Structure 1
Amino acid sequence: MEFSHNDNNNLPLTKFESMLKTNHVLFFDSEEFENIIHHYLNQGKIALAKKAIKLGLGQHPTSVNLRLFKVEVYVFEDKIEEADALLNELYNIDSTNEEIYIQKANIFSKQDNHEKAIEVLKKALTLTDDTVDLYSLIGMEYLFLDEYENAKKYFMKCLEADIDDYSALYNIIYCFEFLNQYEDAISYLNLFLDKNPYCEVAWLQLGKQYLMLEDYDKALAAFDFAIISDDTFVGAYLERGKVLEKLKRYEEAIENYSVTLKLDDPTSFALLRIGHCHERLKNNELALQYFDRTVHEDPLLDKGWIAITKYYKKRHNFQKALYYINKAINIDSENVQYWKLYSQINQRLNLFEEAERGFKKTLELGNYELNTWLSRADLLVKLGELEGAIFNLEQAQDFYPENAEIEYRLAGAHFSLNQNNKGLFYLKNALKLNEDFSFILDELFPDVINKIAVKKLLKANL
C-alpha cells in the first residue's frame, strides 16, 4: 500500500514518524513496516527506509519480506556481497518466494550479467500467478542485451496481462521503432485498438507511426481519435500540431498548440512552434512575442535562443541578433550552435577578430565541419595571421585529407609568406584534386595570383 497524506491510510506512517521524534518505541505489525519501508523507498528516502527496516527486524526478526527490503537497500548501495549472502540465507528459508529471485536477478543485472538475470526471472515466473511485473523485468533485461524481438515479446505478454500498463505499450513501440518495423507497429496497434478503442495512448502511438511513414492524413485521423478518447490529452494536440505544420496548415497548427497552453502550464516547445508558425504566416510581431516567451519559459532551451537570433539575422538586424546570441552564450558557453551563429553574425558586422574567436571556440567544442575550418582560416588570412591560418588548415587535413579547398588555401598562404616551394607543392595537389576551385586563390590571395610560377602552373592545368 502506498501512503498518502491526503487519505486515512497514513496512520501507521504518522505514528512511525512521531515515534522517531520522541524515541518512544511503538509496536507495528510486519505488514505496516513493509508499507512504511515501501513508501520511503518510493520517495527516495533511503535513510528513513533503513531506520524502518532496522526497527521492523527488531520487532519481527523472522520476517522474510522485511529482510528482502534489507537486500534491496544493499543492492541500491552497491553492497553486492552482503545482499548476495542475505539472499542465500533467505533462499534456504523460503525457496519458493519469487521476490528472492527478483532481487537475485537485480544483482545479476547490476553486474551486467543480463542472461543470468533473465534465467532467474524465468524461474520466478514458475512460482507466482502475478506475472506482470516479471514480464516487464524480463523485457528490460532483453533491452539491455539489445535483443529487441525478445524484449518486445515479453512486453506484449505484460500488456496482455494488464491492458492499462502504458509503460509496456511504450516499450513495445520503442522496440518496433528501433527495428524500423513501422508497418508491424501499425498492425499491432490496430489490433490492440480493436479491443481497446478508447485508449488515447495507443491512438497517439498509432499517429506517430503514420507520421514516421509520412502518411499525414492517417496520422491526423489517429490523433483526432486520441483527442476524442481524451479531450485533455496534451500530447495528442502537440502531435496534431506537428502534422498540420508539415501540411503547411499553420493557422490550424497554432490552434492545436494553443489548446495545450490552456490545458496545462505553457511548454517551451508549444510556444516555440507557435512562434515558427506565425513566422511562416508573416505575422512577424507575433512570432517575435512567442520566441521571447519561449526563452523566458525555458532559458536552457537552445532552440528558443537560436530561433530569436535567426529571426533578427534574417532581417539583417545583426546588432539585435548579436545581443541575443550573447545572452544565450552567457547561459550556455558550451553550445556549438551558439558559437557558430556568433561567428556568422560578427562576420556580417565586419568584426573579424570576434568571428575568428567564435570559430575557434566551435572547433574546441568538437565541431569539426569542413566549413568551420575553412571559415576560420579565411578570417585568419583576412587578419594577416598567415601562420595561424596554415596551422589551422593543417589540422583540418587530419579530418579532410586530399581536400582541394584546403590545399588551395595552404598554397596561397605559403606563397604569401614567400615559401614558394611549399606553395607550389600544395598548388599542384589542389589542381590534381579539383581545378574548378582555383578561384580561391584569386579571391583570398589576389597578390599570389600574379606570381609568375603560379600563373605558369595555372595556365598549364586550366
Structure 2
Amino acid sequence: MNFCYECGCKLGRYEKSCPNCGTIFERVINISKNITDENYSEKLEFLINRAEIAYSNKNYGVAIKYFNQFLEINPFSSKVLAKVGFIYAANLNNFDKAFYYINKALEYNSKNYRAWFTKGDLFVNLGNFQDAIKCFDHVLILCNNHETAWFLKGLSLINLNRLTEANYCLNRTLDINPNFKEAKICLDNLSLML
C-alpha cells in the first residue's frame, strides 16, 4: 500500500500526485509499519492536530514531541520536517537542530519552498548572507511572489554591498505588497546610499 508522505492518505498504485493535498511525488514511498491501513491516516491526522494545537498555544516542546511521533510513523514528510526545523529556528533558537530538520526536509522534497525559506532565514540570522541569497533564490524559483523572500534577499544584498540588486529586490517586495513597511524604510535608506 502506498501513502502520501505529506498528509498520509492512501494512494493508488500509479498516482503521481496526492488527490488530498496535491503533493507531486518525485518518488513513491511505500511505508509498512505496524499500522493497519484503516488507522494509518487517522493516527497521522491525530498527531498533526495535537502538534498544531500545542504549537498555537506556544507549547513548542509538546508540539515537537507530536511532530516527532508523526515522523516515527512517516519519516519522509518534508512538510513536517520543515515545520519542526522552523520551530527549532524561530521559537527555540536551536540552529543546529533547525538545520538538521530543514536539510532532511529538502532531502525528501527539494521543492519545499518553506524549507528553503527557513534555511535562508537561518543563514541571515547567522550573518551568512551569501548562502541566504542562494536559499531565497530557490524560494523565488518555486514561489515568485514570496514577498518576505524578496525582502530578506534584498537585506542580504545590502549586507554584501550589492546595492543595485538590493534595490530591485526591495522594489519587487513593494510590487507584491505596497504596505510592507520594513521594505519601504529599507528602500528609503537605500536611496540615500545609491
1:304 to 161, 183, 190: 183
Residue 307 of structure 1 and its aligned partner are, at CA, apart by 2.0
Correspondence for 1:176: 54
Q: Deviations over 1:50-69 (max 9, x none)?
A: xxxxxxxxxxxxxxxxxxxx
Contact map agreement 2:51 2:62 (CA 8 A) in 1: no
Maintained 8 Å contact 1:257/1:270: yes
Partner of 2:116: 237
Q: Which residue of 1 aligns with 2:7?
A: none
Q: Give the equivalent residue in structure 2 for 1:260.
A: 139
Which structure has the larger Rg? 1
> TM-score scaled to structure 1, two decimals?
0.31
* Aligned position for 1:161: 42
CA distance in 2, matches of 1:285, 1:205: 34
Deviation at 1:248?
A: 0.9
Within 5 Å, give how 1:267-282 maps onto structure 2.
267-282=146-161
Pick from 186, 210, 215 the counterpart of residue 64 of structure 2: 186
Residues 180 and 261 of structure 1, relative CA distance in 2, 3 Å threshold: closer
Q: Matched residues in 2 for 1:302 and 1:193: separation?
A: 38
Matches of 1:296 and 1:185, distance apart in 2: 36
1:160 Cα deviation from its structure 2 partner:
6.0
Match of 1:33 in 2: none
Alignment of 1:196-215 (within 5 A): 196-211=74-89, 212-215=91-94
Distance 1:267 1:178, change over 3 A: closer
The 2-side partners of 1:264 and 1:181 are apart by 30
Counterparts of 1:305 and 1:258 in 2: how far apart (Å)?
21
CA distance in 2, matches of 1:237, 1:175: 25
The alpha carbon displacement at 1:299 in A equals 2.1
Is the Cα contact below 8 Å between 1:245 and 1:277 reproduced in 2?
Answer: yes
Matched, 1:222 2:101: yes
Q: Which has the higher helix share?
A: 1
State the one-letter code of the partner of 2:42. A
- CA drift of 1:249 comes to 1.0
Deviations 1:295-331 (A, max 9, x none): 1233233332222123235x4x8xxxxxxxxxxxxxx
Letter in 1 for 2:63: A
> What amino acid maps onto 1:172 in structure 2?
R
Q: Report sequence identity in percent.
A: 21
Per-residue Cα deviation, 1:131-185 (whole angstroms, up to 9, x for no partner): xxxxxxxxxxxxxxxxxxxxxxxxxxx986153x49x72x533422343322222
**1:26-83 alpha-carbon deviations (Å, 9 max, x no partner):** xxxxxxxxxxxxxxxxxxxxxxxxxxxxxxxxxxxxxxxxxxxxxxxxxxxxxxxxxx
Contact 1:278–1:287 (CA under 8 A) maintained in structure 2? yes
Contact 2:153 2:166 in 1 (8 A): yes
1:241-271 deviations in Å (ceiling 9; x for gaps): 1111111111111101101221233322111
Tell me if the contact between 1:275 and 1:291 (Cα under 8 Å) persists in the aligned partners. yes
Cα distance, 1:162–1:272 mapped onto 2, change above 3 Å: same
Query: For each residue in 1:195-235, what CA deviation from the matched residue of structure 2 results, as whole angstroms up to 9, or x when unmatched?
Result: 10101121011112211110011101111111112111111
CA contact (8 A) 2:52 2:63 kept: no
Structure-1 separation of matches of 2:121 and 2:41: 31
Partner Cα separation in structure 1 for residue 60 and residue 43 of structure 2:
24
- Partner of 2:144, secondary structure, is coil
Counterparts of 1:257 and 1:308 in 2: how far apart (Å)? 19
* TM-score, scaled relative to structure 2: 0.70
Unaligned runs of 5+ in 1: 1-157, 318-462
Contact 1:173/1:205 (<8 A) preserved: no
Q: 2: distance between equivalents of 1:205 and 1:296?
A: 28
Change (3 A) 1:159 1:238: farther
Alignment size in residue pairs = 155
- Cα offset, 1:238, TM superposition: 0.7
> RMSD value over aligned CA atoms?
2.4
